[in-house]
Amino acid sequence: MLLFDKVTKWYGPVIGLNQVTLELRPGITGLVGCNGSGKSTLLRLAAGQVRPHLGSVQVCGHEAWSAGAKRHIGYCPELDTFYEEMSGRRFVEVMAQLCGYSCREARRRTAEILELVGMADRAEGRLRGYSKGMRQRIKLAQALLHDPELLLLDEPLSGIDPIGRRESLELFLELARRGKCLLVSSHELEELEKLTDHVAIMARGRIAAVGTLTQIRDLLDNHPLSIRIDCDEARRLAGALLGLEDVAGVEFPDGDHTLLVRARNPRRFFQELTGLVLEEDFDVRHLETLDDSTHAILGYLLGKRTT
């Protein structure tokens, strides 16, 4: 649905995107990375707002820059300016008319989409008086109204209250279930994790990693997975674990009942751990992986702790 083929983009002497190849299929993909990593450039290229210097960006078989591609794209930018003199309803209706719908169809779609984003009863006021969350919902509405296959969402949860966030996440999941392709850029990794475990991690204009969090985590050989295990016989379990090939080290951070294991190849380790616990009859009360979150993976990939 969205294909980046060896895309390079320069801003004068600064490289925004460097030889990026990426293919997105239906479903939700999180786009994460530090400021200046190239997320916005990638989204702008996908939305056809800028053109690559090298390579090509295709949306449903059309060049992203072309008008044909725009029919398939719903873009919710981070930009927070509107036709401020208009009401929210009028703005969305105008956007629908600019998609080529008849006035009646534009009105019908506007009403449905405003209902969908929870703005039906608040859309009559002028946009200049809207809160950040309301403006965010209007942005989302204009992106959804022509029922696009590809949704590009730049910080879509920014400024939305907790209830609105939950509703937004549910809406995104529902859209993904209906076969839409969503590319969601967000700094709010915890919220993103609720939405998807498929992420593209960007660093210095490149895709540092793309895939599910588990797949990416498995590839980080230099950073063994940290697992906390609460067990009455922690020392005996530690001794048994040290015999496993994938265990890189064991610590006792909180006395004799808590074990911190560092393990490579997490999938194989968990299989062997399961067998060991069952065979030796260990009483494991709690098991938790500590650094397989997007946050931790991003930190490892970028060589620093993220905040």
State which residue, 147 or 233, has the beta carbon closest to other proteins: 147
Determine if 24 is a binding residue for other proteins (CB under 8 A).
no
Q: Confirm if 277 and 193 have CB atoms less than 8 A apart.
A: no
Q: Which of 33, 88, 118, 224 binds other proteins (CB under 8 A)?
A: 118
Stretch near other proteins under the rule CB under 8 A, chosen from 116-124, 244-252, 267-275, 290-298: 116-124
Which tokens belong to 274?
A: 């399961």
Contact pattern for other proteins over residues 42 through 61, marking x by CB under 8 A: --x--xxxxx----------
Binding to other proteins by residue 105, rule CB under 8 A?
yes
Phi, psi of 244 (to 5 degrees): -80, 145
Which amino acid, residue 150? L
Q: Give min distance, CB of 171 to other proteins, in A.
A: 5
Q: By C-beta, is 82 or 282 nearer to other proteins?
A: 82
**Residue 78 makes contact with other proteins by CB under 8 A:** yes
The sheet with strand 27-33 has its strands ordered as 73-76, 150-154, 181-185, 27-33, 198-203, 206-212
Which residues are 40's β-sheet partners?
Answer: none
Cβ-based nearer residue to other proteins, 40 or 196: 40
Structure tokens at 199: 């992420």
What is the nearest approach in angstroms of other proteins to the Cβ of residue 124? 15
| One residue of 25, 54, 61, 115 binding other proteins per CB under 8 A | 115
Find the angle CA(196)-CA(31)-CA(12) to the nearest 5 degrees.
175
Q: What is the nearest approach in angstroms of other proteins to the Cβ of residue 252?
A: 45
Of these, 13, 67, 253, 307, which contacts other proteins (CB under 8 A)?
67
89 binds other proteins (CB under 8 A): no
Residue with tokens 């209007």: 138
Q: Does 146 bind other proteins (CB under 8 A)?
A: yes
- CA neighbor of 307 nearest in space, from 294, 295, 293, 297: 295
Determine, following the binding rule CB under 8 A, whether residue 68 of this chain makes contact with other proteins: yes
- Binding status of residue 35 toward other proteins by CB under 8 A: no
Q: Residues 148, 71: contact at Cβ < 8 Å?
A: yes
Count of residues that bind other proteins according to CB under 8 A: 54
In sequence order, the 6+-apart residues with CB closer than 8 A to the CB of 111 are 120
DSSP state of 204: T
The whole-angstrom separation of Cα 297 and Cα 302 is 8
The single residue among 13, 79, 222, 278 that binds other proteins, judged by CB under 8 A, is 79
C-alpha dist (Å) from residue 229 to 45, 211, 234: 45, 27, 8
Residues that bind other proteins (CB under 8 A): 11, 40, 44, 47-51, 66-68, 70-71, 73, 75, 77-79, 81-83, 85, 94-95, 97-102, 105, 108-109, 112-113, 115-119, 137, 140, 142, 145-147, 164, 167-168, 170-171, 173-174, 178
